[in-house]
Structure 1
Amino acid sequence: MTEVRAVVATGKGAPVEVVDIRVPDPGPGEAVVRVQACGVCHTDLHYREGGINDDYPFLLGHEAAGVVEAVGDGVHDVEPGDFVVLNWRAVCGVCRACKRGRPQYCFDTHNASQPMTLTDGTPLSPALGIGAFAEKTLVHAGQCTKVDPAARAAVVGLLGCGVMAGIGAAVNTGGAGPGDTVAVIGCGGVGDGAVAGANLAGARRIIAVDTDPAKLEWAKQFGATHTVNASEADTVAAIRDLTGGFGADIVIDAVGVPATYQQAFYARDLAGTVVLVGVPTPDMKLELPLQDVFSRGGSLKSSWYGDCLPSRDFPMLTELYQQGKLPLEKFVTEEISLDQVESAFAKMHDGEVLRSVVVF
């Protein structure tokens, strides 16, 4: 058992607190990771606001990289000293998806069995089964993905969630490739990840859509060839104008509200693909004419974590970053300390940053 400093959300909408928590020694199948860096993601804010569930107190943070400090019995894939990026979909290997050779869709992913707690013994709910706004965290060993230790933790840790979700939405789910036209609606961390993924895949035209001019400028850094300010132009008409009147081959909705999904649906070419990677809330409803669904053909897809397989994708994307082919470093707007997470939430909410990263 170890005591460390960590960021905890104690109640809905309440400012987060930096407190001491207890991290157990790893049990069978578990690992303790000394966190080196952790990005501030919208999902952490959703947890604080009660948008995920009400299992307070939450141990926040999940976009993280660090070094394995200890492992429990039965752990063979990682060992103390390994530099890892943490993932929230440790595959089980035995569910029906895994047995069919589709582990990226694993229906029974793993987390650590033991709880981390407050010093009074109150169990904590770790964000996405990770809880990495902490000097150390306890995870399932399958949540540790080894990458090149020469990579910067503050950069590659972002592969743990939003950036991977975006890249994967374009490459894995959307199947973007050379010559394709891709439109991305919503240019925060996930949307810019999708832009970067489309660029990496060789798309010939990448259209970034947002209502914030600053975010549209950010999107250009990741490969957007055209931008559309949705507060000044009709999104569907603008995307059609930029694609010869046809619509894009792939349209990625990185916002996740009915209005942007409908825009994505009608902004794609015939037989085109819509990818939903923005996360809707439980109360949202979508209404589309079924005749339009049939007559337009193509695919309507949802992207879970960018349909990634961490053991395959994290090392590959880390290598591409180190080769200068994937500008992951441009996602990092600022590096902050643990006690600046609350102010980072405010900056993120106001659109002032792409990613704040806590560095230990």
Structure 2
Amino acid sequence: MKATLFNAHGGPEVLSYEDVSEPTPSAGEVLLRLDAGGLNYIDTYHREGLYPVDLPCIPGVEGAGVVIGLGDGVTDVKEGDRVGFAGAMGSYAEQIAVPADRLIPLPEGCSSEDAAAVLLQGMTAHYLVHGSYRLGADDTALVHAAAGGVGLLLVQMAKKRGARVIGTVSTAEKEALAREAGADEVIRYTETDFEAETRRLTDDAGVEVVYDSVGLTTFDAGLRLLKPLGTMVLFGQSSGPVPPVNPQILSAEGSLFLTRPTMAHYILTRQALLDRASEVLNWVASGELSVRVGARYSLAEAGAAHTALQSRQTTGKVLLLP
């Protein structure tokens, strides 16, 4: 079968489209024929070596397709079932073996592309607004990268909970997308200082929560924008990692709360995974949650997809198609 992999860490140029052996499902695993895989920022961290992986590595942690084989002991799914997954490495391929307990059945009305586009980022947005900080109708949230894959979903879910949303974006096109998703106010940080503009929009009161996937270039200003007892949710580092934080800063800025969440801790059990994923997929199937696929690339074009993602040329979700 064909797959895209890397044998050494580096830039997008280390990604190579090659023939590899077809996987064989071990006990407790299921073999899938992939219809679509999702591109996520964590894929670039794996490629660059920021997060350790064994080499050679077939990256990609999200996808959807059809069950074509079962390992010993698997009884909950059967060949022909339509399923998705998030958190199993190896989706830059035509086939993948996935632990059966990580699979999510796809509801009617939800395609493989829908699932590959929403599972990881949708569950991320879900735990951000329901877990890391439980948004309420009286809250104002600052959402960085509001037109990105997570951002567009996060804005929609925040509005479902009744919160006021201020988003930051880089272009007029992205501003339009963030507003379409429901953002009440959108700041183009390339033209306006987002800290000063957020203060103006909130009458200098600040916000209850900052959702920050950008990291290095936005973190300090985000802390300054929080109300007393506010929460900084740092869930990414697209501009670079945030240096270690002196806890005394949190006290001085208003007894603030700081969390650096990862999805794995919000889906530790099979039931937690099913509850979170099923709600997201059912919202998609019913039309309550809109998923924007900004671009589709073939597996052979994965390097170009990484380049587009890291240069902030993308909006919404990027898919890789076998």
Q: TM-score, normalised by structure 1?
A: 0.79
Q: Which residue, 140, 159, 181 being the options, matches 1:199?
A: 159
Q: Which residue of structure 2 lines up, in the alignment, with residue 186 of structure 1?
A: 145
Cα shift readout 1:42-84 (whole Å, capped 9, x = no counterpart): 2222222233236321102222111222222222333322221
The answer to whether 1:345 aligns with 2:306 is yes
Which secondary structure does the structure 2 equivalent of 1:66 belong to? strand
Q: CA–CA distance in 2 between the matches of 1:178 and 1:138?
A: 42
Q: Which residue of structure 2 lines up, in the alignment, with residue 243 of structure 1?
A: 202
Residues 316, 293 of structure 1: alpha-carbon distance in 2 compared, 3 angstrom cutoff? same
Q: Which residue, 229, 232, 236 being the options, matches 1:274?
A: 232
Q: Which residue of structure 2 lines up, in the alignment, with residue 356 of structure 1?
A: 318
The answer to whether 1:152 aligns with 2:111 is yes
Which secondary structure does the structure 2 equivalent of 1:357 belong to? strand
Q: Which residue of structure 1 lines up, in the alignment, with residue 277 of structure 2?
A: 314
Q: Which residue of structure 2 lines up, in the alignment, with residue 12 of structure 1?
A: 9
Q: CA–CA distance in 2 between the matches of 1:229 and 1:214?
A: 10
User: What percentage of aligned pairs have identical amino acids?
Assistant: 26
Q: Which residue of structure 1 lines up, in the alignment, with residue 181 of structure 2?
A: 222
Residues 191, 288 of structure 1: alpha-carbon distance in 2 compared, 3 angstrom cutoff? farther
Residues 289, 172 of structure 1: alpha-carbon distance in 2 compared, 3 angstrom cutoff? closer
Q: CA deviation at 1:338?
A: 2.0
Which runs of no fewer than 5 residues in structure 1 stay unpaired? Answer: 89-128
Residues 295, 17 of structure 1: alpha-carbon distance in 2 compared, 3 angstrom cutoff? closer
The answer to whether 1:324 aligns with 2:277 is no
Q: CA deviation at 1:179?
A: 3.2
Q: CA deviation at 1:224?
A: 1.1
Q: Which residue, 254, 257, 264 being the options, matches 1:299?
A: 257
Count of matched residue pairs: 313
Q: TM-score, normalised by structure 2?
A: 0.87
Q: CA–CA distance in 2 between the matches of 1:40 and 1:68?
A: 21
The answer to whether 1:131 aligns with 2:90 is yes
Cα shift readout 1:215-269 (whole Å, capped 9, x = no counterpart): 3333223221111122333323322222232111221111122x42222222122
Amino acid at match of 2:288: K
Q: CA–CA distance in 2 between the matches of 1:45 and 1:296?
A: 35
Q: Which residue of structure 2 lines up, in the alignment, with residue 208 of structure 1?
A: 167
Amino acid at match of 1:322: A
Q: CA–CA distance in 2 between the matches of 1:271 and 1:143?
A: 36
Q: CA deviation at 1:326?
A: 0.6
Q: CA deviation at 1:320?
A: 1.0
List structure 1 runs of 4+ shifted beyond 6 angstroms: 280-283
Cα shift readout 1:265-295 (whole Å, capped 9, x = no counterpart): 2212222221111148997413457165266
Cα shift readout 1:136-172 (whole Å, capped 9, x = no counterpart): 1012112211121431211221233234323421232
Q: CA deviation at 1:310?
A: 2.3
Which secondary structure does the structure 2 equivalent of 1:80 belong to? coil
**More displaced 10-residue stretch of structure 1: 148-157 or 283-292:** 283-292
Q: CA–CA distance in 2 between the matches of 1:28 and 1:192?
A: 38
Q: CA deviation at 1:352?
A: 2.2
Question: In the alignment, is the contact (CA less than 8 A) between 2:37 and 2:321 conserved in 1?
Answer: yes
Which secondary structure does the structure 1 equivalent of 2:21 belong to? strand
Which runs of no fewer than 5 residues in structure 2 stay unpaired? Answer: none
The answer to whether 1:51 aligns with 2:50 is yes
Q: Which residue, 265, 273, 295 being the options, matches 2:223?
A: 265
